[in-house]
Each structure stands twice: as C-alpha cells, then as structure tokens.
Amino acid sequence: MNSRLIVAQIGVGYWGPNLMRNLVSNENCCVKLAVDYSAERRNFVQSLYPDIEVSDDPEVVFSDEEIKTVIIATPVQSHFDLSIQALEANKHILVEKPMATNVQEVEEIGKLARKNNLIAMVGHTFIYNPAVRYVKGIIDSGELGDIRYIYSQRVNLGRIRSDVDALWNLAPHDISIVQYWLNEPTPVSIKRTGMAYVQEGIEDVSFLNIHYPKNIMVNIHVSWLDPHKVRRMTVVGSKKMVVYDDLAVNKVTIYDKGIDRMAILGENMDFDSPDPINFNHRSGEVKIPEIIWKEPLQCEVEHFVNCIINNTPCQTGIDHARQVVSILEAGNQVE
C-alpha cells in the first residue's frame, strides 16, 4: 500500500464516480477514503469498493498523514476552501473545473502550492482527449494556415444546475481547449451575452465572444435549453478547416476548403490586381484521420500521478487554470 500514492476523494456525486473508477484502476494509486455529505453516495461507494473507507467529514482527509493526494469533485463554491485546507495539510490536489470562482482564489491556491512544493491541477479533461490533441498537432504544424476563427457549440436539454450558470458549467471545457490550441494567449477583449429563462439570475444560455491577438475570433455557445445535444468545435484557417465533433464516431474531419485570391496574367507577363478582385472557391479532399482512442479521464489521472511521482510539468496547472477562470470572470462583466 505504501509504495503507491494514497488518495482521498472529496465528492462522489455526478462526476465523482468517473474519477474514482479511474483512480481505482490506476496501478500507482490506492484510494483510501471517500468523503460525501450524502449517505446515499457513501453507500454507493461502499457497494462498488468495499475496501474504501467513507466519511461525511472532509477534516478526516486533512488530518490523515498517510493521505498524500486529494481529489476535489464538489460544487464550485467549495473548491477554494477545500483546496487551501488540503495544501495546508501538505497534500497534492486535483480539482474539478473550474478550479475556483475567481482569479484571486486561483492565485492563492497557486501561491500555497508553490510554497509547499505541491501539485495543484485542474480537471480540464478535454485537454487529455486524443482528438483534441490531434487537432492541436494540426494547428501547430501549420496545415490549416493562419487561424482565422473558432466557434463551438456545447448545448443540450438539461442538466440544469443552480450552483453555477450555463457559462461556468459548460464553457470551461471550450475555453480550456481554445487556450490549449492557441498556446495560451491572453485575449484582447471578451464579451458575453446571455439570458436566464428557467431560474432567476442563473443564465441558461450564453454566447461568449473572445477576440485574440492576430485577429483570431472565437465564439462559444453554451446552453442547457436546446433540442439537440451538440459538442462540436470548428477551426477555420487560411488554408484548411477542421471540425472536432466529440459525439461523432469519427471525431475529427479536415476540409481542404477555402477562398483564394485569383492571380490574373497581365500584358507584361506579370500578375495584375483587377478591380473587382476575383476569387477562387477551393473545395478539395475531405480527410478523416484515424485516431487511437483512450479515455480522456484516464489520461488526466495518469498525467496527475506522473506530475507527482516523476515531477512532470503539469499541463493544466495553475497558469492554465488562471487563464480559464480569468476569461470566465471577464465574461461576468456583462455590458
């Protein structure tokens, strides 16, 4: 038991069981304790994993010196306090998205983690998705040319939450992906438009417009009031375009499409610039690459463990978490 990371998980609700399943299956982890205020959720854990202790008190985790790693999968408002308590108890943390409710909290978590030489990682699972990583490789290779704009839809009918709005619930996925694809740039401007229809003060639908350097535009549409379940992102480049559809069997499709300016041969064997300018609508081959699939959450947990054991640089650490929360926070400043 002592040769592996001793892990505790706080929160085993909606997403918690998926985390626990991957922790249990990781050969470098030993899950000792699960904490949840709900007796039903504690009984659920014990029915699947009889060897895992359960409690309704997070303090049991922080006072146990054998536990070196804490997974926090609780409502967003509790992330900061639980993270600070875990770090003060000298424990590494993996916190579900978003890491905290504002940038200041993320920075305080980061400061304490650095002071105690601990890993503080946020669970932006899509960064570890093989399809998302494949698109990242395409963008970095220059195959798409200059990135012009990106738009995404993450919509469905439900699941409605009351602790956060649709933007803070759903958009962290798309923001984290865009930041990853574009190499973590700082936006030039951010504007949000949304509306609350079901619960007063909690927006069910939001459109987030982000203007990045190099004239890159990003539009993120999130909603839990939509007739269709959609999880799709489109990247438009000057040479090619790519669609990442998380619900499709073939998750990545590359389109050799675009609009090119046509050169017209002039009288002196040079190329004129006619007025009006002529354009060529290019529509080439459609490529569906083969992507070796692996569960993103499994990859996330493996990366977290490697960061602790092998001192691997954390891909979704404090810097990444801060950028995502700063964009969400800026979106709160509705004009």
Q: Is residue 142 part of a domain?
A: no
Higher pLDDT: 331 or 306? It is 306
The whole-model pTM stands at 0.92
What DSSP letter does each residue of 132-160 carry, written as one string?
Answer: HHHHHHHHHHTTT-SEEEEEEEEEEE---
Range of the domain at 57: 5-123+296-328
CA gap 328, 210 in Å, rounded: 11
The pLDDT confidence band at residue 277, using thresholds 50, 70 and 90, is: low
Residue that is written with structure tokens 């698109």 in the block? 135
Candidates 77, 74, 71, 111; CA nearest to 92 is 71
Residue 233 corresponds to which tokens in the numbers above? 């992102």
Q: Which residues contact 115 (CB under 8 A, 6 or more apart)?
A: none
Q: Shortest CA distance to 241 belongs to which of 153, 154, 143, 174?
A: 143
Please report, for residues 44, 72, 122, 331, the alpha-carbon distance to residue 312 in angstroms, rounded to integers and kept in the order given: 34, 21, 15, 32
pLDDT digits (tens, 9 = 90+) for 180-222: 999 999 999 999 999 999 999 999 999 999 999 999 999 999 9
From the list 243, 257, 258, the residue with the least C-alpha distance to 289 is 243
Domain for residue 83, yes or no? Answer: yes
Residue 243, domain member (yes or no): no
pLDDT digits (tens, 9 = 90+) for 27-42: 999 999 999 999 999 9
- Beta pairing class for 120-123 and 271-272: unpaired
What order of strands is seen across the sheet that includes strand 120-123? Answer: 53-55, 29-35, 5-10, 69-72, 92-96, 120-123
175 three-class SS: helix
Residue 240 covered by a domain: no
Question: Is position 25 within any domain?
Answer: yes
Number of domains in the chain: 1
Quote the CA–CA distance of 150 and 211 in Å, as a whole number.
10
From residue 307, give the alpha-carbon distance in Å to each of 119, 247, 261, 277. 7, 30, 48, 54
Contact between 331 and 208 (Cβ < 8 Å): yes
How many C-beta atoms lie closer than 10 Å to residue 213's C-beta?
Answer: 10
The answer to whether residue 223 is domain-embedded is: no
pLDDT at position 266: 57
> Which CATH number characterizes residue 77's domain?
3.40.50.720
Query: How many helical (H) and strand (E) elements, i.e. helices and strands, does the chain have?
Result: 9, 16
Is 62 contained in some domain? yes
Asked if residue 236 is part of any domain, the answer here is no
**pLDDT higher than threshold 90 for residue 270:** no
Backbone angles phi, psi at 201, to 5 degrees: 85, 0
10-64: pLDDT as tens digits: 999 989 999 999 999 999 999 999 999 999 999 999 999 999 999 999 999 999 9
